A = this chain, B = another copy of it.
């Protein structure tokens, strides 16, 4: 009988290698995620990691969120707000999805705005002119100064 079936671990507990294989994420990445508080593990007597099956969904969610461009630190913060004791429900996950969808929407909106302005500028080649909206993004990095805010309103 394999250690993985040891009754002190959740039914069907997974080793780190198994999680890696099934999630498509490198073992080193799983270790890394653990140091960042994105996932957690129990340890066997021999100090090896054992994950509950739910970790696969969790990793899947992390990867989707990453694809939307959300940094790991924010993902960690969002996951930390999931209910602590019980396994998250479909509605818990859906809540996260909604929040991330909103961020994604915002990113798409900003990029589209930039594209439209780039379109306008293609015609005139004005990129360096004072009047060009692309050249005067007062909020490019610091959002300081009370400029015209032509670009990326609400940056943050």
Interface extent on A, as a size class? 35 or more
Residues of chain B lying within 8 A (CB to CB) of residue A128: 56-57, 60-61, 93
A20 to chain B, nearest CB (A): 11
Query: Who on chain B is nearest to A132 by CB?
Result: B60
Question: When the two chains form their complex, are residues A107 and B101 in contact, meaning their CB atoms are under 8 A apart?
Answer: no
Which of A1-9, A38-46, A77-85, A134-142 sits within the interface? A134-142
Task: Tell me the bound Cα distance from A71 to B145 in angstroms.
Answer: 7
Within 8 A of B (CB), among A96-115: 97-98, 100-101, 104-105, 107-108, 111-112, 114-115
Query: Who on chain B is nearest to A123 by CB?
Result: B94
Q: Please classify the interface of chain A as helix (H, G, I), strand (E, B), loop, or mixed, using the class held by over half of its residues.
A: helix
Residues of chain B lying within 8 A (CB to CB) of residue A104: 111, 114-115, 118
Cβ of A119 under 8 Å from chain B: yes
Task: Tell me the bound Cα distance from A68 to B71 in angstroms.
Answer: 18
Residues of chain B lying within 8 A (CB to CB) of residue A115: 68, 101, 104-105, 108
Residues of chain B lying within 8 A (CB to CB) of residue A92: 125
Interface of A with B (CB < 8 Å)? 24-26, 29, 56-57, 60-61, 63-64, 67-69, 71, 89-94, 97-98, 100-101, 104-105, 107-108, 111-112, 114-115, 118-119, 121-128, 132, 134-135, 137, 140-141, 144-145, 151, 153
